[in-house]
Amino acid sequence: MSGLMNNYFYGKAGQGDYTVEQMPTTRKQLFFTTLRVRFSSMIGVNLLHFLFMLPLLIWLYIASSTALVYLEPADAVKLGGTPQPMADAYAGYTALSAELDALTNASKYLAENEAKLSDIRARIADLEAGKEVLVEDTVIEGGEKTQRPVTMEELRAQEAEVLAAIELNRQNEVKAQDEAYLTDLRTRYVEQLNTYNLYARQGLNGNLLLSLLIMVPFVALASVGRPGMMYVLRNWARDEHSFVWQDYKEAIKTNWKQSLPIGIINGFSFFVVFVAYVTYGQMAQDSWFFNIPQALMVVLLALWWMANELMFPMMVTYKMKLKDIIRNSIIISIARLPIAFVILLGTVAVPLAILLLVPLPFSILVLLVIYGVIGFALVGFVQASFANACFDKYLNPRIEGAQVGIGLHNPEEDEDDAPEAAKPEAQEKEDRFWEHKTE
């Protein structure tokens, strides 16, 4: 065990030193190099951020479980507080559905019941001949199936029940020949189904609206912890050292006044866009023109969350006002739109794919394992690496004294050109990072 720990902290003996020529020269090389080195340490960062995310995750599970019930009509009606018009619409819909099924499949059900009647009468004949007729019975305790003798009263009752069903099937066969009645029945069925779907959709929308509103403080809380994770991951993405707990804590302490408003906006973004989407969708039933603002709201939501990929890294890197962080993040995300969109798409597509491909409740377990161990930190590391590249391209060249290409090796530069007096100052800035953001 001691040898294992020694190899973990100091590496294996006999390996060559890491030379300057082996240092990454491109962002792609730097990403995979630092990811391989910092992967195990990212688990600790992920655990810290998971604590901030936990209330949001719990609420998402509760809200989604409640919302999914509306997709099943029978379960939706059983919900407490279901409006009476919705319950009435469901009752009418199920009654018409049963009648339509009975008419369209009358011949099939008649043949099945006639076969049952023949079997029952054969048993009655055996019983009258003095033979013992056994039927299967189920013992509740243990669920074991047993057999017991059947009585003549039971068989006569079954015979009468099947005879009544056969008579009803014959009546339904006659009704099924009436095309006008059958057409009217189908029309009433579709109208009643549409009425129920309308009430169910209204109930689902109301449930989602309330869930999104309650979700706002949970999203804000998760955003408060985001600067801590992004500061540590930003340093690692630049191949710089970072103390996980100390840097995480200090970055939150320094940036919570800016991260909290962004978190509140993040929470309300889903609520506002959902309200606008539903409203414009209802208006679009009368005019196709309202499909344009409906689609525009989805585009704006995607743009805002693409800007989120840069807001928190920018927050922990530069001394900027909140409005400048938001404005610069939106502008840069538009400038780097393809990459920013691919990162956002990957962030959303992975959990959705797991939910769709893995059956419940195993999909929830898989998501908990992935995001509870490494998921949040891995996504954050991708965003931090992307943000570092964007800052080098759009911000650092315009800021006096800001370094460009931190973590990358430029073969044309001579290390000896750097003045020795600058090293202690750089080290001091590293030790007291929270007091030295870039202006």
Q: At residue 317, what are phi and psi to the nearest 5 degrees?
A: -105, -35
CB 294 within 8 A of CB 280: yes
Q: Which residues contact 265 (CB under 8 A, 6 or more apart)?
A: 304
Element (H, E) at 282: helix 244-283
> What interhelical angle do 244-283 and 27-69 show, nearest 10?
50
Pick from 308, 339, 313: which is nearest to 235 by CA?
Answer: 313
Task: Print pLDDT tens along the chain (439 aa).
Answer: 444 444 444 444 444 445 556 667 788 888 888 889 899 899 999 999 999 999 999 998 888 877 766 666 555 555 554 566 777 777 787 888 888 888 888 889 889 988 998 998 888 888 888 888 787 766 555 556 677 888 888 888 988 999 998 998 898 888 888 888 888 888 888 888 888 878 777 778 888 899 999 999 999 999 999 999 999 999 999 888 888 899 999 999 999 999 999 999 999 999 999 999 999 988 888 888 889 999 999 999 999 999 999 999 999 999 999 999 999 999 999 999 899 999 999 999 888 888 888 887 788 888 889 999 999 999 999 999 999 999 999 998 888 877 888 877 665 554 444 454 444 544 444 444 444 465 5
Distance CA 46, CA 53 (A): 10
Phi and psi torsions of 321, nearest 5°: -70, 160
Which amino acid belongs to residue 77? V
CATH of range 84-189; options 2.30.30, 3.20.20, 1.10.287, 1.10.10: 1.10.287
CA neighbours within 13 Å on the CB side: how many for 216?
13
- In the beta sheet, which residues pair with residue 438? 318
In this prediction, residue 20 carries a pLDDT of 58
Closest CA to 175 of 164, 186, 160: 186
What confidence score (pLDDT) does residue 221 get?
Answer: 94
The domain locations on the chain are 24-69+225-408+420-435, 84-189
How far, in Å, CA of 78 to CA of 82, rounded? 7
